Structure 1
Protein backbone atom coordinates (compact mmCIF):
# COMPACT_ATOMS: atom_id res chain seq x y z
CA UNK A 1 0.00 0.00 0.00
CA UNK A 2 1.36 3.40 -0.99
CA UNK A 3 0.49 7.05 -0.35
CA UNK A 4 1.29 9.86 -2.78
CA UNK A 5 2.25 12.87 -0.70
CA UNK A 6 2.65 16.39 -2.09
CA UNK A 7 4.03 19.52 -0.46
CA UNK A 8 3.31 22.59 -2.60
CA UNK A 9 4.56 26.08 -1.92
CA UNK A 10 5.45 29.44 -3.35
CA UNK A 11 8.91 28.35 -4.43
CA UNK A 12 8.76 24.64 -5.28
CA UNK A 13 6.56 21.56 -5.12
CA UNK A 14 7.72 18.15 -3.91
CA UNK A 15 6.01 14.82 -4.34
CA UNK A 16 6.78 11.30 -3.13
CA UNK A 17 5.25 7.86 -3.19
CA UNK A 18 6.01 6.11 0.09
CA UNK A 19 5.09 3.17 2.33
CA UNK A 20 3.82 3.18 5.91
CA UNK A 21 7.33 2.23 7.01
CA UNK A 22 8.68 5.44 5.46
CA UNK A 23 10.36 3.90 2.42
CA UNK A 24 10.32 6.32 -0.52
CA UNK A 25 9.59 4.55 -3.79
CA UNK A 26 9.55 7.59 -6.09
CA UNK A 27 10.18 11.32 -5.75
CA UNK A 28 9.93 14.48 -7.83
CA UNK A 29 10.44 18.23 -7.45
CA UNK A 30 8.96 20.88 -9.76
CA UNK A 31 8.19 24.59 -9.61
CA UNK A 32 5.85 26.69 -7.48
CA UNK A 33 2.20 25.69 -7.02
CA UNK A 34 0.65 28.41 -4.86
CA UNK A 35 -2.50 29.35 -6.82
CA UNK A 36 -2.29 32.90 -5.51
CA UNK A 37 1.03 33.44 -7.25
CA UNK A 38 0.97 31.00 -10.19
CA UNK A 39 -1.25 31.18 -13.29
CA UNK A 40 -3.70 28.30 -13.71
CA UNK A 41 -2.04 27.00 -16.87
CA UNK A 42 1.39 27.04 -15.20
CA UNK A 43 -0.03 25.37 -12.09
CA UNK A 44 -1.50 22.54 -14.16
CA UNK A 45 1.76 22.21 -16.09
CA UNK A 46 3.88 21.87 -12.93
CA UNK A 47 1.57 19.39 -11.20
CA UNK A 48 1.24 17.34 -14.38
CA UNK A 49 5.01 17.23 -14.63
CA UNK A 50 5.27 16.14 -10.98
CA UNK A 51 2.84 13.27 -11.43
CA UNK A 52 4.43 12.16 -14.71
CA UNK A 53 7.85 11.93 -13.04
CA UNK A 54 6.46 9.89 -10.12
CA UNK A 55 4.64 7.59 -12.52
CA UNK A 56 7.77 7.12 -14.64
CA UNK A 57 9.98 6.39 -11.63
CA UNK A 58 7.79 3.55 -10.41
CA UNK A 59 4.86 2.45 -12.59
CA UNK A 60 4.07 -0.54 -10.36
CA UNK A 61 3.91 1.49 -7.14
CA UNK A 62 1.87 4.22 -8.84
CA UNK A 63 -0.79 1.65 -9.72
CA UNK A 64 -1.07 0.71 -6.04
CA UNK A 65 -1.36 4.23 -4.62
CA UNK A 66 -4.23 4.19 -2.10
CA UNK A 67 -4.60 7.96 -1.69
CA UNK A 68 -3.06 11.26 -2.69
CA UNK A 69 -2.66 13.88 0.04
CA UNK A 70 -1.56 17.36 -0.95
CA UNK A 71 -0.54 20.01 1.56
CA UNK A 72 -0.60 23.22 -0.46
CA UNK A 73 -0.03 26.88 0.29
CA UNK A 74 -2.69 29.27 -0.94
CA UNK A 75 -5.70 26.94 -0.53
CA UNK A 76 -7.21 28.37 2.65
CA UNK A 77 -10.42 29.49 0.97
CA UNK A 78 -12.86 26.61 0.31
CA UNK A 79 -13.20 27.58 -3.36
CA UNK A 80 -9.41 27.52 -3.85
CA UNK A 81 -9.18 24.15 -2.11
CA UNK A 82 -12.01 22.77 -4.28
CA UNK A 83 -10.34 23.97 -7.48
CA UNK A 84 -7.02 22.44 -6.44
CA UNK A 85 -8.71 19.14 -5.59
CA UNK A 86 -10.48 19.08 -8.97
CA UNK A 87 -7.20 19.81 -10.75
CA UNK A 88 -5.42 17.01 -8.89
CA UNK A 89 -8.27 14.60 -9.64
CA UNK A 90 -8.06 15.46 -13.33
CA UNK A 91 -4.38 14.48 -13.37
CA UNK A 92 -4.71 11.23 -11.40
CA UNK A 93 -6.58 7.96 -12.08
CA UNK A 94 -10.19 8.11 -10.85
CA UNK A 95 -9.46 5.26 -8.43
CA UNK A 96 -7.13 7.45 -6.32
CA UNK A 97 -9.04 9.65 -3.81
CA UNK A 98 -7.50 13.09 -3.33
CA UNK A 99 -7.31 15.20 -0.18
CA UNK A 100 -6.11 18.80 -0.37
CA UNK A 101 -5.34 20.75 2.78
CA UNK A 102 -3.31 23.70 4.00
CA UNK A 103 0.41 22.94 3.84
CA UNK A 104 0.67 23.85 7.51
CA UNK A 105 -0.97 20.60 8.62
CA UNK A 106 1.54 18.49 6.69
CA UNK A 107 4.38 20.53 8.18
CA UNK A 108 2.88 19.91 11.65
CA UNK A 109 2.63 16.17 11.07
CA UNK A 110 6.25 16.03 9.95
CA UNK A 111 7.13 16.82 13.56
CA UNK A 112 4.29 15.24 15.56
CA UNK A 113 3.36 12.17 13.44
CA UNK A 114 -0.25 13.36 13.43
CA UNK A 115 -0.46 14.22 17.13
CA UNK A 116 -1.74 17.61 18.46
CA UNK A 117 0.58 20.59 18.49
CA UNK A 118 1.46 23.84 16.78
CA UNK A 119 3.48 24.42 13.65
CA UNK A 120 5.18 27.70 12.88
CA UNK A 121 5.99 27.97 9.20
CA UNK A 122 8.57 30.61 8.41
CA UNK A 123 9.53 30.20 4.79
CA UNK A 124 8.81 32.57 1.92
CA UNK A 125 5.55 33.25 3.78
CA UNK A 126 4.47 32.51 7.33
CA UNK A 127 1.57 31.01 9.28
CA UNK A 128 1.00 29.71 12.81
CA UNK A 129 -1.25 26.66 12.74
CA UNK A 130 -2.44 24.31 15.45
CA UNK A 131 -4.33 21.11 16.17
CA UNK A 132 -5.60 20.59 19.73
CA UNK A 133 -6.50 17.40 21.59
CA UNK A 134 -10.12 17.63 20.46
CA UNK A 135 -9.10 17.68 16.80
CA UNK A 136 -9.95 21.36 16.35
CA UNK A 137 -7.80 23.29 13.87
CA UNK A 138 -7.01 26.98 14.23
CA UNK A 139 -4.50 29.50 12.97
CA UNK A 140 -2.90 32.89 13.45
CA UNK A 141 -1.65 34.84 10.44
CA UNK A 142 -0.84 33.48 7.02
CA UNK A 143 -3.02 36.05 5.29
CA UNK A 144 -0.60 36.82 2.47
CA UNK A 145 2.24 39.26 2.02
CA UNK A 146 0.01 42.20 1.08
CA UNK A 147 -1.68 41.99 4.49
CA UNK A 148 1.52 41.41 6.43
CA UNK A 149 3.39 38.17 7.04
CA UNK A 150 5.59 38.84 10.02
CA UNK A 151 8.18 36.16 10.71
CA UNK A 152 8.55 35.22 7.05
CA UNK A 153 11.40 35.33 4.58
CA UNK A 154 9.45 37.99 2.70
CA UNK A 155 9.05 40.13 5.83
CA UNK A 156 12.75 39.91 6.70
CA UNK A 157 13.83 40.58 3.11
CA UNK A 158 11.32 43.39 2.64
CA UNK A 159 12.33 45.12 5.86
CA UNK A 160 15.97 44.73 4.86
CA UNK A 161 15.21 46.48 1.58
CA UNK A 162 13.26 49.23 3.31
CA UNK A 163 16.04 49.91 5.80
CA UNK A 164 18.63 49.99 3.00
CA UNK A 165 16.57 52.61 1.16
CA UNK A 166 16.01 54.55 4.38
CA UNK A 167 19.77 54.66 4.83
CA UNK A 168 20.21 55.68 1.19
CA UNK A 169 17.77 58.58 1.66
CA UNK A 170 19.37 59.67 4.92
CA UNK A 171 16.28 58.76 6.95
CA UNK A 172 17.79 55.75 8.71
CA UNK A 173 21.05 54.46 10.13
CA UNK A 174 23.87 53.33 7.90
CA UNK A 175 23.81 49.60 7.37
CA UNK A 176 25.82 46.87 5.67
CA UNK A 177 22.56 45.83 4.01
CA UNK A 178 23.12 48.51 1.38
CA UNK A 179 26.32 46.95 0.05
CA UNK A 180 25.05 43.39 0.43
CA UNK A 181 21.89 44.11 -1.56
CA UNK A 182 23.82 46.00 -4.24
CA UNK A 183 26.14 43.02 -4.48
CA UNK A 184 23.19 40.66 -4.81
CA UNK A 185 21.89 42.55 -7.85
CA UNK A 186 25.39 43.36 -9.12
CA UNK A 187 24.82 47.12 -9.22
CA UNK A 188 26.78 50.06 -7.87
CA UNK A 189 23.93 52.09 -6.39
CA UNK A 190 20.76 51.02 -4.65
CA UNK A 191 18.24 52.79 -6.97
CA UNK A 192 19.49 50.62 -9.83
CA UNK A 193 17.63 47.62 -8.36
CA UNK A 194 14.17 49.20 -8.70
CA UNK A 195 13.56 47.80 -12.19
CA UNK A 196 14.56 44.29 -11.09
CA UNK A 197 12.22 44.43 -8.07
CA UNK A 198 9.13 45.76 -9.81
CA UNK A 199 9.53 43.68 -12.96
CA UNK A 200 10.32 40.37 -11.26
CA UNK A 201 8.23 37.37 -12.35
CA UNK A 202 7.76 36.45 -8.68
CA UNK A 203 8.62 39.53 -6.57
CA UNK A 204 7.62 37.83 -3.32
CA UNK A 205 10.14 35.05 -3.85
CA UNK A 206 12.82 37.50 -4.97
CA UNK A 207 12.40 39.70 -1.92
CA UNK A 208 12.28 36.69 0.41
CA UNK A 209 15.62 35.52 -1.01
CA UNK A 210 17.20 38.73 0.31
CA UNK A 211 16.61 37.57 3.90
CA UNK A 212 19.94 35.74 3.84
CA UNK A 213 21.72 39.10 3.52
CA UNK A 214 19.95 40.31 6.66
CA UNK A 215 21.35 37.24 8.44
CA UNK A 216 24.84 37.94 7.10
CA UNK A 217 24.72 41.56 8.25
CA UNK A 218 23.42 40.47 11.67
CA UNK A 219 26.31 38.01 11.99
CA UNK A 220 28.65 40.93 11.32
CA UNK A 221 27.10 42.93 14.16
CA UNK A 222 24.94 45.23 12.03
CA UNK A 223 22.44 46.80 14.46
CA UNK A 224 19.82 47.48 11.77
CA UNK A 225 19.82 43.85 10.63
CA UNK A 226 19.74 42.59 14.21
CA UNK A 227 16.71 44.78 14.94
CA UNK A 228 14.87 43.30 11.93
CA UNK A 229 15.50 39.78 13.19
CA UNK A 230 14.48 40.71 16.74
CA UNK A 231 11.22 42.19 15.45
CA UNK A 232 10.34 39.10 13.44
CA UNK A 233 11.38 36.70 16.20
CA UNK A 234 9.12 38.62 18.59
CA UNK A 235 6.28 38.34 16.08
CA UNK A 236 6.70 34.56 15.88
CA UNK A 237 6.79 34.27 19.66
CA UNK A 238 3.62 36.34 20.03
CA UNK A 239 1.78 34.43 17.29
CA UNK A 240 2.60 31.03 18.80
CA UNK A 241 1.69 32.24 22.30
CA UNK A 242 -1.60 33.69 21.07
CA UNK A 243 -2.60 30.48 19.30
CA UNK A 244 -1.72 28.23 22.24
CA UNK A 245 -3.65 30.38 24.70
CA UNK A 246 -6.80 30.49 22.60
CA UNK A 247 -6.77 26.95 21.23
CA UNK A 248 -5.47 24.67 23.99
CA UNK A 249 -7.32 24.20 27.27
CA UNK A 250 -5.77 24.71 30.69
CA UNK A 251 -5.01 21.01 31.13
CA UNK A 252 -3.25 20.81 27.78
CA UNK A 253 -1.24 23.97 28.51
CA UNK A 254 -0.05 22.42 31.78
CA UNK A 255 2.05 20.06 29.65
CA UNK A 256 4.59 20.84 26.96
CA UNK A 257 2.96 21.86 23.70
CA UNK A 258 4.97 20.63 20.70
CA UNK A 259 5.85 23.58 18.44
CA UNK A 260 7.17 22.38 15.11
CA UNK A 261 9.44 24.87 13.36
CA UNK A 262 9.31 24.58 9.58
CA UNK A 263 10.67 26.74 6.79
CA UNK A 264 13.96 28.21 5.66
CA UNK A 265 14.17 30.97 8.27
CA UNK A 266 14.69 28.35 10.94
CA UNK A 267 17.91 27.26 9.29
CA UNK A 268 19.13 30.20 11.37
CA UNK A 269 17.21 29.29 14.51
CA UNK A 270 20.22 30.51 16.46
CA UNK A 271 19.19 34.07 15.54
CA UNK A 272 15.51 33.63 16.48
CA UNK A 273 15.36 31.19 19.39
CA UNK A 274 16.37 33.48 22.26
CA UNK A 275 13.85 36.20 21.45
CA UNK A 276 11.08 33.62 20.87
CA UNK A 277 11.72 31.96 24.21
CA UNK A 278 11.61 35.32 26.01
CA UNK A 279 8.12 35.89 24.58
CA UNK A 280 7.02 32.39 25.63
CA UNK A 281 8.24 33.07 29.16
CA UNK A 282 6.39 36.39 29.25
CA UNK A 283 3.13 34.62 28.38
CA UNK A 284 3.86 31.53 30.55
CA UNK A 285 3.87 29.26 27.51
CA UNK A 286 5.32 25.78 27.97
CA UNK A 287 6.52 25.13 24.44
CA UNK A 288 8.73 22.32 23.21
CA UNK A 289 10.48 23.51 20.06
CA UNK A 290 10.89 20.76 17.45
CA UNK A 291 12.90 20.83 14.27
CA UNK A 292 11.32 18.00 12.27
CA UNK A 293 13.53 15.15 11.14
CA UNK A 294 11.76 14.96 7.79
CA UNK A 295 10.51 17.44 5.22
CA UNK A 296 6.82 18.50 5.10
CA UNK A 297 6.23 16.18 2.15
CA UNK A 298 6.73 13.36 4.66
CA UNK A 299 3.97 14.92 6.74
CA UNK A 300 1.72 14.72 3.67
CA UNK A 301 2.37 10.98 3.51
CA UNK A 302 1.59 10.64 7.24
CA UNK A 303 -1.64 12.61 6.75
CA UNK A 304 -2.56 10.32 3.85
CA UNK A 305 -2.15 7.21 5.97
CA UNK A 306 -4.19 8.79 8.78
CA UNK A 307 -6.97 9.40 6.24
CA UNK A 308 -6.90 5.63 5.75
CA UNK A 309 -7.01 5.15 9.56
CA UNK A 310 -3.42 3.91 9.62
CA UNK A 311 -1.00 5.42 12.14
CA UNK A 312 2.75 5.62 11.58
CA UNK A 313 5.41 5.19 14.26
CA UNK A 314 8.81 6.74 14.97
CA UNK A 315 10.41 4.29 12.58
CA UNK A 316 8.75 6.19 9.74
CA UNK A 317 10.86 9.28 10.40
CA UNK A 318 14.08 7.27 10.66
CA UNK A 319 13.43 5.45 7.39
CA UNK A 320 12.09 8.49 5.51
CA UNK A 321 15.02 10.67 6.56
CA UNK A 322 17.54 8.19 5.17
CA UNK A 323 16.41 9.19 1.70
CA UNK A 324 17.83 12.58 0.80
CA UNK A 325 15.21 14.50 -1.18
Structure 2
Protein backbone atom coordinates (compact mmCIF):
# COMPACT_ATOMS: atom_id res chain seq x y z
CA UNK A 1 0.00 0.00 0.00
CA UNK A 2 1.31 3.43 -0.94
CA UNK A 3 1.83 6.03 1.77
CA UNK A 4 0.53 8.92 -0.34
CA UNK A 5 -2.00 9.51 -3.08
CA UNK A 6 -3.90 12.17 -4.98
CA UNK A 7 -7.63 12.75 -5.24
CA UNK A 8 -9.74 13.80 -8.23
CA UNK A 9 -13.41 14.76 -8.03
CA UNK A 10 -15.79 15.40 -10.92
CA UNK A 11 -18.92 17.00 -9.51
CA UNK A 12 -21.71 17.47 -12.04
CA UNK A 13 -25.40 18.19 -11.85
CA UNK A 14 -26.41 14.55 -12.15
CA UNK A 15 -23.51 12.61 -10.65
CA UNK A 16 -20.39 13.21 -8.58
CA UNK A 17 -17.41 10.88 -8.99
CA UNK A 18 -14.18 10.62 -7.05
CA UNK A 19 -11.01 8.56 -7.47
CA UNK A 20 -7.86 8.17 -5.39
CA UNK A 21 -4.73 7.45 -7.44
CA UNK A 22 -1.29 6.17 -6.39
CA UNK A 23 2.03 7.68 -7.55
CA UNK A 24 2.36 4.99 -10.25
CA UNK A 25 -1.10 5.76 -11.70
CA UNK A 26 -2.99 2.88 -10.05
CA UNK A 27 -6.56 3.69 -9.02
CA UNK A 28 -6.79 2.87 -5.32
CA UNK A 29 -10.42 3.79 -4.67
CA UNK A 30 -13.48 5.15 -6.43
CA UNK A 31 -16.84 6.42 -5.29
CA UNK A 32 -20.06 7.68 -6.91
CA UNK A 33 -22.73 9.94 -5.44
CA UNK A 34 -25.58 12.14 -6.64
CA UNK A 35 -25.28 15.55 -8.23
CA UNK A 36 -23.43 18.39 -6.49
CA UNK A 37 -24.32 21.46 -8.55
CA UNK A 38 -25.18 24.21 -6.02
CA UNK A 39 -27.37 25.98 -8.57
CA UNK A 40 -30.06 23.32 -8.48
CA UNK A 41 -29.18 20.71 -5.84
CA UNK A 42 -30.23 21.82 -2.37
CA UNK A 43 -28.26 18.98 -0.75
CA UNK A 44 -25.07 19.52 -2.76
CA UNK A 45 -22.91 20.30 0.30
CA UNK A 46 -23.96 17.16 2.14
CA UNK A 47 -23.43 15.05 -0.99
CA UNK A 48 -19.93 16.41 -1.48
CA UNK A 49 -19.01 16.22 2.21
CA UNK A 50 -20.11 12.59 2.55
CA UNK A 51 -18.25 11.61 -0.61
CA UNK A 52 -14.99 13.25 0.47
CA UNK A 53 -15.14 11.73 3.94
CA UNK A 54 -15.64 8.28 2.45
CA UNK A 55 -13.00 8.27 -0.28
CA UNK A 56 -9.56 8.66 1.31
CA UNK A 57 -7.89 5.35 2.28
CA UNK A 58 -4.40 6.89 2.51
CA UNK A 59 -2.96 10.37 3.21
CA UNK A 60 -3.55 12.72 0.30
CA UNK A 61 -0.81 14.88 -1.14
CA UNK A 62 -2.94 16.87 -3.60
CA UNK A 63 -6.49 17.08 -4.89
CA UNK A 64 -8.18 18.53 -7.95
CA UNK A 65 -11.84 19.24 -7.36
CA UNK A 66 -13.82 20.00 -10.53
CA UNK A 67 -17.31 21.19 -9.61
CA UNK A 68 -20.27 22.35 -11.66
CA UNK A 69 -20.90 26.03 -11.15
CA UNK A 70 -17.43 26.76 -9.73
CA UNK A 71 -15.50 29.91 -10.58
CA UNK A 72 -12.80 31.49 -8.46
CA UNK A 73 -14.14 34.87 -9.58
CA UNK A 74 -17.62 34.33 -8.09
CA UNK A 75 -18.23 34.91 -4.39
CA UNK A 76 -20.83 32.14 -4.40
CA UNK A 77 -18.08 29.59 -5.05
CA UNK A 78 -16.37 30.34 -1.76
CA UNK A 79 -18.80 28.01 -0.03
CA UNK A 80 -17.75 25.21 -2.37
CA UNK A 81 -14.13 25.86 -1.40
CA UNK A 82 -15.00 25.89 2.29
CA UNK A 83 -16.80 22.54 2.09
CA UNK A 84 -13.82 20.91 0.39
CA UNK A 85 -11.18 22.41 2.68
CA UNK A 86 -13.16 21.59 5.83
CA UNK A 87 -13.08 17.90 4.92
CA UNK A 88 -9.60 17.56 3.36
CA UNK A 89 -7.81 19.77 5.88
CA UNK A 90 -4.86 22.15 5.58
CA UNK A 91 -2.21 19.57 4.65
CA UNK A 92 -3.63 18.74 1.20
CA UNK A 93 -2.71 20.96 -1.75
CA UNK A 94 -6.05 21.66 -3.43
CA UNK A 95 -6.90 22.97 -6.88
CA UNK A 96 -10.52 24.02 -7.33
CA UNK A 97 -11.90 24.39 -10.86
CA UNK A 98 -15.02 23.79 -12.93
CA UNK A 99 -16.06 20.32 -14.02
CA UNK A 100 -15.78 21.33 -17.68
CA UNK A 101 -12.14 22.35 -17.21
CA UNK A 102 -11.12 18.88 -16.05
CA UNK A 103 -13.25 17.39 -18.84
CA UNK A 104 -11.17 19.36 -21.36
CA UNK A 105 -7.93 18.30 -19.67
CA UNK A 106 -9.04 14.68 -19.89
CA UNK A 107 -10.23 14.85 -23.47
CA UNK A 108 -6.87 16.15 -24.74
CA UNK A 109 -4.64 14.52 -22.08
CA UNK A 110 -3.73 17.99 -20.79
CA UNK A 111 -2.91 19.26 -24.29
CA UNK A 112 -4.46 22.09 -26.33
CA UNK A 113 -7.95 21.77 -27.75
CA UNK A 114 -11.59 22.81 -27.61
CA UNK A 115 -14.12 20.72 -25.72
CA UNK A 116 -17.81 20.94 -26.54
CA UNK A 117 -19.69 19.68 -23.50
CA UNK A 118 -23.41 19.13 -23.86
CA UNK A 119 -25.37 17.24 -21.26
CA UNK A 120 -28.18 18.74 -19.21
CA UNK A 121 -26.44 22.06 -19.86
CA UNK A 122 -23.92 23.10 -22.51
CA UNK A 123 -20.60 24.93 -22.55
CA UNK A 124 -17.48 25.20 -24.71
CA UNK A 125 -14.07 25.17 -23.03
CA UNK A 126 -10.91 26.04 -24.97
CA UNK A 127 -7.31 25.62 -23.85
CA UNK A 128 -4.36 26.57 -26.06
CA UNK A 129 -1.70 26.26 -23.31
CA UNK A 130 -0.58 29.85 -23.96
CA UNK A 131 -3.49 31.95 -22.72
CA UNK A 132 -5.99 31.59 -19.86
CA UNK A 133 -8.69 29.00 -20.61
CA UNK A 134 -11.61 30.35 -22.62
CA UNK A 135 -15.25 29.60 -21.88
CA UNK A 136 -17.98 30.12 -24.45
CA UNK A 137 -21.59 29.63 -23.39
CA UNK A 138 -22.36 27.89 -20.11
CA UNK A 139 -24.82 30.61 -19.10
CA UNK A 140 -27.32 28.24 -17.51
CA UNK A 141 -30.84 27.33 -18.52
CA UNK A 142 -32.26 30.79 -17.78
CA UNK A 143 -29.84 32.64 -20.08
CA UNK A 144 -28.79 30.13 -22.70
CA UNK A 145 -27.53 26.55 -22.74
CA UNK A 146 -28.45 26.29 -26.42
CA UNK A 147 -27.72 22.84 -27.76
CA UNK A 148 -27.98 21.20 -24.35
CA UNK A 149 -30.19 18.30 -23.35
CA UNK A 150 -32.47 20.77 -21.60
CA UNK A 151 -32.69 22.91 -24.73
CA UNK A 152 -33.50 19.84 -26.85
CA UNK A 153 -36.17 18.75 -24.40
CA UNK A 154 -37.70 22.23 -24.39
CA UNK A 155 -37.69 22.29 -28.20
CA UNK A 156 -39.51 18.95 -28.29
CA UNK A 157 -42.08 20.06 -25.73
CA UNK A 158 -42.46 23.34 -27.62
CA UNK A 159 -43.62 21.38 -30.64
CA UNK A 160 -46.06 19.48 -28.43
CA UNK A 161 -47.67 22.58 -26.94
CA UNK A 162 -47.77 24.25 -30.36
CA UNK A 163 -49.80 21.31 -31.62
CA UNK A 164 -52.06 21.38 -28.56
CA UNK A 165 -52.72 25.08 -29.18
CA UNK A 166 -53.21 24.96 -32.95
CA UNK A 167 -54.35 21.34 -33.49
CA UNK A 168 -52.61 21.53 -36.84
CA UNK A 169 -52.46 17.97 -38.19
CA UNK A 170 -48.81 18.30 -39.30
CA UNK A 171 -47.75 18.36 -35.66
CA UNK A 172 -49.90 15.50 -34.40
CA UNK A 173 -47.51 12.63 -35.04
CA UNK A 174 -44.49 14.11 -33.27
CA UNK A 175 -46.61 15.40 -30.38
CA UNK A 176 -48.02 11.93 -29.94
CA UNK A 177 -44.56 10.36 -29.83
CA UNK A 178 -43.35 12.74 -27.12
CA UNK A 179 -46.54 12.40 -25.08
CA UNK A 180 -46.25 8.61 -25.21
CA UNK A 181 -42.64 8.85 -24.09
CA UNK A 182 -43.86 10.75 -21.03
CA UNK A 183 -46.63 8.20 -20.50
CA UNK A 184 -49.25 10.90 -21.03
CA UNK A 185 -52.53 10.80 -23.00
CA UNK A 186 -52.23 11.42 -26.72
CA UNK A 187 -55.80 12.74 -27.04
CA UNK A 188 -55.33 16.53 -27.29
CA UNK A 189 -58.44 17.06 -25.15
CA UNK A 190 -56.67 15.31 -22.28
CA UNK A 191 -53.00 15.88 -23.05
CA UNK A 192 -52.81 19.55 -22.07
CA UNK A 193 -53.89 19.14 -18.46
CA UNK A 194 -51.83 15.97 -18.14
CA UNK A 195 -48.73 17.81 -19.38
CA UNK A 196 -49.24 20.64 -16.90
CA UNK A 197 -49.59 18.09 -14.10
CA UNK A 198 -46.44 16.31 -15.31
CA UNK A 199 -44.53 19.57 -14.88
CA UNK A 200 -45.91 20.09 -11.39
CA UNK A 201 -44.87 16.73 -9.98
CA UNK A 202 -41.26 16.65 -11.19
CA UNK A 203 -38.72 16.74 -8.34
CA UNK A 204 -36.18 18.31 -10.69
CA UNK A 205 -37.95 19.71 -13.77
CA UNK A 206 -34.77 20.72 -15.61
CA UNK A 207 -33.37 17.18 -15.46
CA UNK A 208 -36.74 15.69 -16.42
CA UNK A 209 -36.95 17.91 -19.49
CA UNK A 210 -33.31 17.24 -20.41
CA UNK A 211 -33.98 13.49 -20.23
CA UNK A 212 -36.26 13.90 -23.25
CA UNK A 213 -33.16 14.48 -25.38
CA UNK A 214 -32.56 10.72 -25.35
CA UNK A 215 -36.01 10.12 -26.79
CA UNK A 216 -35.49 12.79 -29.44
CA UNK A 217 -32.21 11.12 -30.40
CA UNK A 218 -33.91 7.72 -30.64
CA UNK A 219 -36.65 9.16 -32.83
CA UNK A 220 -34.06 10.81 -35.07
CA UNK A 221 -32.31 7.46 -35.51
CA UNK A 222 -35.66 6.06 -36.65
CA UNK A 223 -35.99 8.79 -39.27
CA UNK A 224 -38.37 11.21 -37.52
CA UNK A 225 -37.98 14.50 -39.39
CA UNK A 226 -39.04 16.69 -36.44
CA UNK A 227 -36.48 15.02 -34.17
CA UNK A 228 -33.73 15.40 -36.77
CA UNK A 229 -34.60 19.08 -37.19
CA UNK A 230 -34.31 19.72 -33.43
CA UNK A 231 -30.98 17.92 -33.12
CA UNK A 232 -29.52 19.66 -36.16
CA UNK A 233 -30.47 23.02 -34.67
CA UNK A 234 -28.76 21.97 -31.43
CA UNK A 235 -25.68 20.97 -33.41
CA UNK A 236 -25.71 24.36 -35.12
CA UNK A 237 -25.46 26.16 -31.78
CA UNK A 238 -22.63 23.91 -30.59
CA UNK A 239 -20.64 24.20 -33.83
CA UNK A 240 -21.06 27.98 -33.84
CA UNK A 241 -19.67 28.22 -30.32
CA UNK A 242 -16.65 26.09 -31.24
CA UNK A 243 -16.06 28.44 -34.17
CA UNK A 244 -16.38 31.42 -31.80
CA UNK A 245 -13.70 29.92 -29.55
CA UNK A 246 -11.40 29.45 -32.52
CA UNK A 247 -11.97 33.02 -33.68
CA UNK A 248 -11.22 34.45 -30.24
CA UNK A 249 -8.05 32.39 -29.89
CA UNK A 250 -7.00 33.05 -33.49
CA UNK A 251 -6.24 29.40 -34.19
CA UNK A 252 -8.10 26.32 -35.38
CA UNK A 253 -7.55 24.05 -32.41
CA UNK A 254 -8.89 20.48 -32.65
CA UNK A 255 -12.23 19.81 -31.02
CA UNK A 256 -13.59 17.00 -28.92
CA UNK A 257 -16.82 16.40 -27.07
CA UNK A 258 -18.35 15.22 -23.83
CA UNK A 259 -21.84 14.77 -22.44
CA UNK A 260 -24.95 12.77 -23.24
CA UNK A 261 -26.08 14.96 -26.16
CA UNK A 262 -23.04 13.79 -28.12
CA UNK A 263 -24.25 10.20 -27.86
CA UNK A 264 -26.58 11.20 -30.69
CA UNK A 265 -25.27 10.20 -34.13
CA UNK A 266 -27.29 13.06 -35.62
CA UNK A 267 -25.58 15.65 -33.42
CA UNK A 268 -22.07 14.28 -33.97
CA UNK A 269 -22.55 14.11 -37.73
CA UNK A 270 -24.07 17.59 -37.95
CA UNK A 271 -21.36 19.27 -35.85
CA UNK A 272 -18.70 17.45 -37.87
CA UNK A 273 -20.26 18.65 -41.12
CA UNK A 274 -20.56 22.24 -39.91
CA UNK A 275 -16.98 22.39 -38.63
CA UNK A 276 -15.58 20.51 -41.62
CA UNK A 277 -13.65 18.04 -39.48
CA UNK A 278 -14.29 15.05 -37.27
CA UNK A 279 -13.78 15.37 -33.51
CA UNK A 280 -10.81 13.98 -31.66
CA UNK A 281 -11.91 11.01 -29.59
CA UNK A 282 -11.69 11.99 -25.90
CA UNK A 283 -8.56 10.38 -24.43
CA UNK A 284 -9.88 10.40 -20.85
CA UNK A 285 -13.05 11.32 -19.03
CA UNK A 286 -13.30 14.35 -16.75
CA UNK A 287 -12.24 12.31 -13.73
CA UNK A 288 -9.11 11.31 -15.63
CA UNK A 289 -8.40 14.95 -16.37
CA UNK A 290 -8.76 15.75 -12.69
CA UNK A 291 -6.33 12.98 -11.81
CA UNK A 292 -3.74 14.31 -14.30
CA UNK A 293 -3.95 17.80 -12.88
CA UNK A 294 -3.75 16.56 -9.29
CA UNK A 295 -0.70 14.44 -10.11
CA UNK A 296 1.08 17.44 -11.61
CA UNK A 297 0.05 19.46 -8.56
CA UNK A 298 1.74 16.81 -6.41
CA UNK A 299 4.91 17.05 -8.50
CA UNK A 300 4.60 13.53 -9.88
CA UNK A 301 5.88 12.46 -13.28
CA UNK A 302 2.91 12.05 -15.62
CA UNK A 303 4.30 10.03 -18.52
CA UNK A 304 2.98 7.40 -20.90
CA UNK A 305 3.31 4.58 -18.38
CA UNK A 306 1.47 6.59 -15.72
CA UNK A 307 -1.36 7.44 -18.13
CA UNK A 308 -1.63 3.81 -19.25
CA UNK A 309 -1.98 2.68 -15.66
CA UNK A 310 -4.60 5.35 -15.01
CA UNK A 311 -6.53 4.38 -18.14
CA UNK A 312 -6.63 0.76 -17.03
CA UNK A 313 -7.94 1.71 -13.61
CA UNK A 314 -10.57 4.08 -14.92
CA UNK A 315 -11.82 1.58 -17.50
CA UNK A 316 -13.49 -0.28 -14.64
CA UNK A 317 -15.37 2.86 -13.58
Q: Tell me, yes or no, whether TM beats 0.5.
A: yes
- Equivalent-residue separation in structure 2 for 1:244 and 1:118 (angstroms): 8
- 2:123 paired residue number: 127
Question: Structure 2 matches for 1:1-325, cutoff 5 A?
Answer: 1-39=4-42, 42-55=43-56, 59=57, 61=58, 63=59, 65-76=60-71, 77-170=73-166, 173-174=170-171, 176-189=173-186, 190-191=191-192, 192-249=194-251, 253=252, 257-268=253-264, 270-281=265-276, 289-310=279-300, 312-322=302-312, 323-325=315-317
Alignment gaps of 5+ in structure 1:
282-286
Q: Any idea what the Cα deviations from partners look like across 1:261-315, whole Å, max 9, x if unmatched?
A: 11111122x212332133224xxxxx56123243211111111123334452344
- Give the CA deviation at 1:210: 0.7
- Provide the aligned C-alpha RMSD in A: 2.0
Change in CA separation of 1:25 and 1:178 when aligned onto 2, cut-off 3 Å: same
Secondary structure of the equivalent of 2:245?
helix
2:38 and 2:69 in contact (8 A); partners too? yes
1:177 and 1:214 in contact (8 A); partners too? no
Secondary structure of the equivalent of 2:40?
coil
- Give the CA deviation at 1:3: 1.4
Alignment gaps of 5+ in structure 2:
none
Change in CA separation of 1:164 and 1:86 when aligned onto 2, cut-off 3 Å: same
2:109 and 2:284 in contact (8 A); partners too? no
- Give the CA deviation at 1:160: 0.9
Count of aligned residue pairs for this structure pair: 305
Query: Given the two structures, how large is their TM-score scaled by the length of structure 2?
Result: 0.89
Q: Any idea what the Cα deviations from partners look like across 1:76-111, whole Å, max 9, x if unmatched?
A: 352133221111001123211222111111001112
Query: Given the two structures, how large is their TM-score scaled by the length of structure 1?
Result: 0.87
